[in-house]
Amino acid sequence: MTDVIQLLPDSIANQIAAGEVVQRPASVVKELMENALDANADEINVIIKEAGKALIQVTDNGMGMSETDARMSLERHATSKIKTAEDLFKIKTMGFRGEALASIAAVSQMEMRTRIGSRDIGSQLEVDSSEVKLQRPIACSTGTSVIVKNLFYNIPARRNFLKSNGVEMRHIVEEFQKVSLGRPDLNFSLFQNDLASYQLTKGKLTQRIVQLFGKNYQSQLAAVNESTPHLKINGFIGKPESAKKTRGEQFFYVNNRYIKSGYLNHAIISAYEGLIPKDQFPFYVLFIDIDPAHIDVNVHPTKTEIKFVDERTVYAIVRSAVKQALGAHNLSPSIDFELDVNFGKEQLHKFETFSEKDYGQFRTPQTKTSPEDIRSLENFYEKVLQNDPSRKIGNDELELTFQSAANAPEYGHIGFQEKQQEQTKVFTFQLHGKYILTQVKSGLMLVDINKAHERILFENYLNRLSTGKYASQQSLFPQTITFNPSDFALLEDIRDEIKKLGFDIEDFGKNSIIINGYPPDVGDQDEKQVFEGLIEQYKIFKSELTLPKEEHLARSLAHRSAIKPGKFIGGEEMNAIIDNLFACKTPNFSPDGQVTFFILDLNKIETLFN
Ligand code: ADP
Ligand code: MG
């Protein structure tokens, strides 16, 4: 009989290994973000299209890679992080198995651009199912940018197995939260289908919590701080009354690495005993610092589970630290929740409404609106807003409604979210391709999508211009533009600002530029058109008004790239628009002073029927 055993080709071996490391788009996001952390980046930008099924881009300003390293990084078991077996016991980095990039490259079309600070030129690599298609020198900024396109396109069974965009996006957001919560000392951003979901600036842990979960968390936190010879623990826990019925806001980090540990979770929950009902989960973000020799990180391929050498001691310290924090906030855990009279019906009710839904970015529960609902709503609004003269709301009435809404503090930044939190059912609905309809506490809110988006973009752009922090999405097919000499001179004048907006441009011969990258939130428009539009609009605005050039630029780009009427947008996008609008400094007006939203008061609606 002939010999039958063969070594698997690398590409197949990598695909098999990928099964462990890359389960879904969120795994890619996690691995790439962790690589960026390991590269000592302090600015990490994530761009997602179609819940990561079409595109995932992670850009960092870290140490970058040399040409050879860039090529090597794609090999399986290629890592710069361990050299000897002993190193395994001193791991301080996120990754070390050297499998992530090889695995991702095996199941996608990947592009990498990277440059180390000491070199003038970087390198670009294009890989398709593990096969390197292109490697060449390229001008790019210091750091690394990895683009992963069409994940699992070469393994249809895996691709079909992916869940809906909503579900996959939630996983991505969770990974993003885990990483960014673990490093409040770094800047992060997450863009989803051209909309900024998060733009996090470095600061204290409390600030990061608020940036990620909303302002109402501010008053809900109790600090944990405990130092023993064995380990240090610090962070924040949620006060008992903020506990929720859904899990998902429990974060545990050991030596800055997010970990899952049923055992430690139990230690924390047990410290809340008697303070929260059995079926509720407290919020927590806790960091343990412990000598790496006392843990074994390598027990799980995706590295979220670890083993402590001395589990019981760790358990006891964690539990006592949490108890102490609860006690320090006068929340003595001596009452039995089930029996105590203080927790009467009202209190229970409060618990329920609080946890009924956790409102935050991406977390507005989407109740399905039936076609009947939609039709009756449509009829209703048509009547209210245009046709029926007897029911028509006069302009000044709307004005009044709006005025009161704008003045009421409850529609300020957090107020809106808090109000939402109390509701059980919130729908969003796009009306005539132009407006978002949604329920708010006092009635019904109508948001003008285009104007609201313009306001959001304007403030984002202004912010980028003033902080110098921006994200840039790589052009897949960099285009060149040739200007007339006077426009080119104008461009010279605003070149720095244009870069800060997120356009990565380079000179390309006389009066010409090439666009290598563009702001991730300019929408699915042609980059060249956006750029030309920006310059055109800038000239128009500049001739009309004298404002600082930053403001003109921010206004121009916002005006050109805001979502245009008639474009269908999904539920998540609508929620993102509402969230982002109310996070603006001036949510009520578009940059040119037009109203962005109206609130139709319940009382007013009532009168329409009487
Ligand atoms: P691991 O992180 O486990 O070492 P990866 O496959 O994720 O394995 O990465 C392989 C190697 O590529 C890393 O050890 C590192 O040297 C290099 N690398 C990957 N991503 C980056 C990045 N964003 N910046 C700099 N170097 C990187
Ligand atoms: Mg890695």
Helix (H) or strand (E) holding 181: helix 165-182
CB atoms within 10 A of CB 151: 26
What is the per-residue pLDDT for 178? 95
Contacts of 541 (CB under 8 A, 6+ apart): 547, 552, 555, 556, 559
| Tens-digit pLDDT profile for residues 98-115 | 789 999 999 999 999 999
Regarding predicted confidence, which is higher, 41 or 215? 41
In this predicted structure, the answer to whether residue 403 has a pLDDT above a threshold of 90 is no
Q: Which ligand 1 atom sits closest to the C-alpha of 58?
A: 23
Helix (H) or strand (E) holding 597: strand 597-601
For ligand 1, whether the C-beta of 60 sits within 6 Å is yes
Cα of 98 vs its chain's centroid, Å: 26
Does the CB atom of residue 96 touch ligand 1 within 6 A? yes
CB of 41 closer than 6 A to ligand 1?
no
Arithmetic mean of pLDDT, 428-439: 92
Closest ligand 1 atom to residue 78 Cα is: 10
Is the CB–ligand 1 distance for residue 207 below 6 Å? no
Query: From the CA of 77, which ligand is nearest?
Result: 1
By mean pLDDT, which of 73-87, 433-447, 552-566 is the weakest?
A: 73-87
Residue 299 pLDDT: 54
Tell the residue nearest (CA) to atom 17 of ligand 1: 73
Q: What is the mean pLDDT of residues 553-580?
A: 90
Ligand 2 centroid – CA 19 distance (Å): 16
- pLDDT tens-place string over residues 584-602: 988 988 998 888 998 888 8
Q: What is the DSSP annotation of 556-581? A: HHHHHHSPPTT----HHHHHHHHHHH
Closest atom of ligand 1 relative to the 102 alpha carbon: 6
- For 247-277, the pLDDT digits (tens) are 889 999 998 888 888 889 999 999 998 888 8
Residue 395 has pLDDT above 80, yes or no: no
pLDDT for the residue numbered 113? 96
Compute the distance between CA of residue 208 and CA of residue 184 in angstroms, rounded to an integer: 6
What separation in Å is there between the alpha carbon of 500 and the centre of ligand 1?
Answer: 27
Nearest ligand 1 atom to the CA of 31 is 7
Predicted local confidence at residue 301, as pLDDT: 52
* Any ligand 1 atom below 6 A from CB of 224: no
Specify the DSSP class assigned to residue 149: E
Ligand 1 near 98 CB (within 6 A): yes
The counts of H helices and E strands in the chain are: 19, 22
As a whole number of angstroms, the distance between CA 451 and CA 434 comes to: 10
pLDDT band at 349 (very low <50, low <70, confident <90, very high): very low
Q: Confidence class of residue 431 from pLDDT cuts 50, 70 and 90? A: very high
Nearest-ligand number for the alpha carbon of 117: 1
Protein residue closest via CA to atom 20 of ligand 1 = 35
Q: Which of 30, 33, 101, 147 to mutate to test the pocket of ligand 1 (most atoms within 8 A of CB)?
A: 101
Burial class (CB in 10 A: 0-12, 13-18, 19+), 14: buried
Residue 549 reports pLDDT greater than 50: yes
Most confident of 241-245, 281-285, 561-565: 281-285
145 CA → ligand 2 middle, Å = 14
pLDDT score for 53: 96
For residue 38, pLDDT over 70 is answered with yes
pLDDT digits (tens, 9 = 90+) for 176-185: 999 999 999 9
Residue nearest to atom 14 of ligand 1 (CA): 79
Contact by Cβ (8 Å): 242, 220: yes
Give 130 Cα–ligand 2 centroid separation in angstroms: 17
Instruction: Kindly list the distances between the CA atom of residue 538 and the CA atoms of 172, 495, 517, 520, in Å, as whole numbers in the listed order.
Output: 36, 13, 20, 20
39 lines ligand 1 (CB under 6 A): yes
Residue percentage of the chain with pLDDT more than 90: 39
Radius of gyration of the chain measured on its C-alpha atoms: 26
What pLDDT does 274 receive? 85
| pLDDT at res. 135 | 94
Which ligand minimizes its atom distance to the CA of 102?
A: 1
pLDDT at 242 over 80: yes
Which residue has its alpha carbon closest to ligand 1 atom 12? 73
CA–CA separation, 517 vs 525, rounded Å?
13
pLDDT of 331 higher than 60: no
Cβ burial of 472 (10 Å; 0-12, 13-18, 19+) is buried
Q: Whose CA is nearest to atom 1 of ligand 1?
A: 98
35 lines ligand 1 (CB under 6 A): yes
User: Which of the given ranges, 132-146, 297-311, 535-549, has the highest pLDDT on average?
Assistant: 132-146
Note the pLDDT of residue 608: 85
pLDDT in tens, 130-166: 999 999 999 888 999 999 999 999 988 889 889 999 8
For residue 409, how many other CB atoms are within 10 A of its CB?
A: 8
What is the number of the ligand 1 atom nearest to the C-alpha of 101?
6
DSSP state, residue 380: H
With the most atoms of ligand 1 within 8 angstroms of its CB, the residue from 27, 32, 37, 38 to mutate is 38
Ligand 1 atom at shortest distance from the alpha carbon of 93: 2
The bridge status of strand 221-227 relative to strand 231-238 is antiparallel
5: how many CB neighbours lie within 10 A of its CB? 4
If DSSP codes are grouped into helix, strand and coil, which group holds residue 478?
A: strand
Quick one: which atom of ligand 1 is closest to the CA of 143? 24
